[in-house]
Amino acid sequence: MNQVQPQPLKTQPPKAPPRMPIECGVPDPIPLMHPLMRKNFGQWAWHDRPRPGVLHHVAKNGDQLWTVKAGTQRQMDVYTIRHICDIVDQYGEGHIRFTTRSNIEIGIGDEKKVAPLIAKLEAEGFPVGGTGNSVSMISHTQGWLHCDIPGTDASGVVKALMDDLYEEFKKEEMPNRVKITTSCCQINCGGQGDISINIQHTKPPKINHDLVANVCERPAVIARCPVAAIRPALVNGKPSLEVDERKCICCGACYPPCPPMQINDPEHSKLAIWVGGKHSSTRSRPSFHKLVVAGLPNNPPRWPEVAEVVKTILYAYKANARPWERMNEWIDRIGWPRFFEMTNLPFTKFHIDDWRGARASLNASSHVHF
């Protein structure tokens, strides 16, 4: 009787170890740059703008680099990103950069490729512009998509406004560059801007006391309040929280660690317009933006009241500012009374900064012992 020889077991090839992330902060951008940019890094002789949306840099050794700048939507799916990359591979030279204001910048070393690339981008719905004295793409926070404390859809406000300001993005007809920002809460992650649109809660949070004990870590919620307006309480025999409405500034910081402290409200969550903010130190020092309109309705999906006020301010600045004056410089020159006259905006008691209670209320410890 023939014995069956045992077959050797098939061994699986060893698996490659998983690629671990490099926890060293922001990746080095140099290897991702266009070859001409890497070659001439820090060695540029001069630059100009042949047309809106195109930058032209000339190096000391004679190398030339053209950069085409186009606007995109703030929230992009993977298919749109791949489509943009296909355009860059076909009409450009395979190098693209995404900016903080949702623009794309495509580097090209051959001037003959610039015009076909612009034509293709425009045909596919990506407007070329945003350079020089134009209205740059509006920067904004995440809004309802990602943020844990949004009071409005920041990206929706941007979409509605940029539809109205489309031509101002493509042209360079402003006295100076105009930067508009939006923030979906009063923390103002959008930063300072020539014109800023921020959410404005007008009522303290409504507390669902039945859920606080099971959902919220009360010490963390108390520590989160910037003005120490939240303290522990016992409601209906259950541990809960209470808000000192005399201190509360309606910022909404308590909502993320404690969703039962609901502050978003269709009636009492408004939008406010601020002007004159500036991060850079070019021509004048940085400045904080200042409130000019409050209590605008949070009215999606087009926010017509907000768009009307923004355009009123923008076109008053365009018609009356001197060349190269930023928004804050124009207002400083003409004065706030004249600004409200030119824009025909109402001046109310809310524009007067007469609050003197900081030492008594804000300067209080939020460290509470249980």
pLDDT of residue 76: 85
* Secondary structure of residue 277 in the 3-state scheme: coil
pLDDT of residue 366: 43
Q: Could you give the percent of the chain with pLDDT greater than 70?
A: 91
Range name among 8-17, 215-224, 274-283 with the lowest pLDDT average = 8-17
Indicate the pairing of strand 180-183 with strand 139-140.
parallel
For 206-262, CATH number out of 2.40.110.10, 2.60.260.40, 1.10.3720.10, 3.30.70.20 equals 3.30.70.20
Residues 6 or more apart in contact with residue 159 via CB below 8 angstroms: 73, 74
191 versus 221: the higher-pLDDT residue is 221
For 139-202+266-351, CATH number out of 3.40.630.30, 3.90.320.10, 2.50.20.10, 3.30.413.10 equals 3.30.413.10
Per-residue pLDDT, averaged over 360-367, amounts to 45
Identify the CATH class of 32-123: alpha beta
What's this model's pTM, rounded to 2 decimal places?
0.84
Q: pLDDT (tens digit, 9 = 90+) per residue, 53-82?
A: 999 999 999 999 999 999 998 778 899 999
Q: What's the CA gap between 294 and 269, in Å, rounded?
A: 11
Which backbone phi and psi does 231 adopt, to 5 degrees? -140, 160
Question: Which part of the chain has CATH 3.30.70.3340?
Answer: 32-123
What's the Rg (C-alpha) of the chain?
Answer: 27
Q: Interior CA angle at 103 toward 74 and 133, to 5°?
A: 120
Reported confidence tier of residue 361, pLDDT bands at 50, 70, 90: very low
Question: Which part of the chain has CATH 3.30.70.20?
Answer: 206-262
b/e string for 207-221 if b means 16 or more Cβ within 10 A? bebeebeeebebeeb
Helix extents (H) in the chain: 35-39, 78-91, 114-123, 154-164, 166-170, 209-215, 218-224, 304-320, 327-334, 336-343
Q: What's the CA gap between 147 and 266, in Å, rounded?
A: 18
pLDDT of residue 6: 65
Q: CB-hemisphere CA count at 13 Å for 167?
A: 4
Average pLDDT, the chain: 88
